[in-house]
């Protein structure tokens, strides 16, 4: 019996093998921030690979430009290699370990969490029905809502902050300046690296043809999410600062921010889901496709259930839709450190770290 002596490569080893080939080739220099950062190194530590992986925006431009993809024996597929390292790194930095891999790779785990989240809200509304109250507060008191959503928001943020600390240590980050932060925020908000050096977009869903669809859909999700967050914050300020509790009128700040935010979030997420169905799975983290799709659909469900609740104002549907929407939001919050949602935090950290490398 002959023993197979082929070494087993980890995702980091495989990415290192490919980046060493890129470092000799240098063809893709102008494509994105990954290549100048790669060419600045002679050898790649594990931390360097983690940083380069989180800097890559998976635009896929370098794959279509590369002369060393299969059937060449080098078998380059840098977008996929870096995507696998990202999945692995987000799991490693999240506490407790293993949950990141579970929610990133198993869409069914996120679906199960959603069922539990919605069930928990139906239970809370049935068991803790307030004696009096108007609007939403006739079904669940403000005190109970704060008791559920305060910790459900703050604890995941703490877990993400701990993960970022691990990231910063591993990638050799130093003290952050305002100009580095500003440069990273600019690049993050404009998704500058999602275009492989081409102003006309990325190669995500149409092979070697360029398209701006993914960038536009992401911008809708990104700004929609921020508007929804701003709407909730405005409601909190009105409640505590001005003694103006919900429900708010159609022309109040929470509604003026929340309704367009919900529309953008829902349409953007559905757009991203459609693009994901058309894109080539082998150029991303194939292991994480199901978890990513479940996350995109969870975002769409969050926006759509919020809009449905708004449309149902004053009808008998408010109670079940409130449980549905709050259960979806609860699931989104609690799984944030373990789902694809963490990409925002790590990608921003990678952009700040890159600004440090460039001496911004
Ligand atoms: C600094 C902020 C952010 C940056 C730099 C960023 C960057 C990116 C990039 C480069 C991608 C495409 C590559 C990939 O799939 O990993 C992506 C995908 C995505 N982002 Fe963001 N993002 C940010 C914040 C957000 C926020 C706040 C949301 C919404 C809550 C969001 C939702 C999504 C979704 C739904 C996808 C698609 C996932 C998929 O197709 O599998 N992102 N983001
Ligand atoms: S992706 Fe291919 S073409 Fe681009 S730098 Fe790497 S080896 Fe060269
Ligand atoms: S951002 Fe695009 S061009 Fe740059 S490494 Fe990633 S897939 Fe390749």
pLDDT at 3: 60
pLDDT at 176: 96
State which of 90, 107, 134 marks the end of a domain. 90
Is it the case that residue 137 has pLDDT exceeding 90?
A: no
Q: Does residue 294 lie in a domain region?
A: yes
Q: What is the 3-state secondary structure (H, E, C) of 177-209?
A: CHHHHHHHHHHHHHCCCCCCCCCCCECCCCCCC
Q: What mean pLDDT, rounded, does the chain reach?
A: 93
Is it the case that residue 200 has pLDDT exceeding 90?
A: no
pLDDT band per the 50, 70, 90 thresholds, residue 5: low
Mutate to test the pocket of ligand 1, among 90, 104, 184, 218 (most ligand atoms within 8 A of CB): 218
Tell me how far apart the alpha carbons of residues 204 and 98 are, in angstroms, rounded to a whole number.
Answer: 29
Domain that holds residue 15: 11-90
Question: Is 68 a pocket residue for ligand 2 (Cβ < 6 Å)?
Answer: yes
State which of 72, 90, 108 marks the end of a domain. 90
Is it the case that residue 1 has pLDDT exceeding 60?
A: no
Q: How far is the CA of 175 from the centre of ligand 3 (A)?
A: 27
- What digits encode the pLDDT tens for the residues 27-65? 999 999 999 999 999 899 999 999 999 999 999 999 999
In this structure, the number of other CB atoms found within 10 A of the CB of residue 163 comes to 24
Question: Is 21 a pocket residue for ligand 2 (Cβ < 6 Å)?
Answer: yes
Average pLDDT of the segment spanning 164-178: 97
Average pLDDT of the segment spanning 347-354: 97
Q: How far is the CA of 207 from the centre of ligand 2 (A)?
A: 17
Q: Check whether residue 196 and residue 310 sit in a common domain.
A: yes
pLDDT at 85: 97
What is the secondary structure of 269-328 as a DSSP string? HHHHHHHHHHS-GGGS-GGGHHHHHHHHHHHHHHHHHHHHHHHTTTSTTHHHHHHHHHHH
pTM reported for the whole predicted model: 0.93
Q: For the domain that residue 283 is a member of, what is the CATH number?
A: 1.20.950
Q: Check whether residue 206 and residue 280 sit in a common domain.
A: yes
Is it the case that residue 86 has pLDDT exceeding 70?
A: yes
């Amino acid at each position: 019996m002959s023993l197979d002596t082929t070494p087993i490569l980890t995702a980091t080893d495989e990415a290192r093998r490919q980046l060493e080939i890129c470092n000799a080739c240098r063809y893709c220099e102008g494509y994105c921030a990954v290549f100048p950062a790669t060419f600045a190194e002679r050898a790649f530590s594990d931390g360097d690979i983690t940083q380069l992986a989180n800097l890559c925006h998976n635009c896929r431009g370098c794959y279509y430009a590369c002369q060393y993809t299969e059937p060449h024996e080098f078998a380059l597929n840098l977008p996929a290699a870096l995507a696998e390292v990202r999945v692995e790194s987000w799991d490693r930095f999240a506490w407790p370990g293993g949950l990141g891999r579970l929610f990133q790779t198993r869409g069914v785990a996120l679906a199960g969490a959603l069922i539990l989240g919605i069930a928990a809200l139906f239970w809370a509304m049935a068991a803790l029905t307030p004696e009096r109250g108007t609007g939403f507060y006739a079904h669940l008191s403000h005190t109970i809502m704060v008791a559920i959503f305060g910790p459900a928001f703050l604890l995941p943020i703490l877990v993400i902050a701990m993960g970022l600390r691990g990231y910063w240590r591993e990638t050799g980050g130093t003290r952050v300046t305002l100009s580095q932060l500003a440069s990273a925020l600019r690049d993050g908000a404009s998704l500058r690296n999602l275009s492989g050096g081409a102003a006309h977009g990325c190669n995500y869903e149409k092979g070697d043809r360029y398209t701006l669809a993914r960038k536009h859909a992401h911008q809708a999700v990104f700004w929609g999410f921020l508007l929804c967050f701003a709407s909730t914050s405005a409601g909190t300020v009105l409640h505590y600062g001005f003694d103006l509790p919900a429900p708010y009128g159609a022309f109040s700040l929470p509604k003026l921010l929340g309704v367009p935010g919900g529309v953008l979030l829902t349409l953007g997420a559905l757009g991203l889901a459609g693009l994901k169905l058309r894109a080539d799975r082998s150029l991303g983290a194939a292991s994480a496709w199901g978890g990513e799709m479940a996350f995109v659909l969870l975002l769409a469900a969050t926006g759509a259930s919020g809009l449905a609740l708004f449309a149902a104002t004053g009808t008998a549907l408010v109670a079940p839709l409130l449980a549905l929407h709050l259960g979806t939001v609860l699931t989104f919050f609690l799984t944030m450190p373990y789902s694809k949602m963490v990409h925002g935090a790590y990608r921003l950290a990678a952009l700040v770290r890159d600004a440090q490398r460039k001496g911004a």
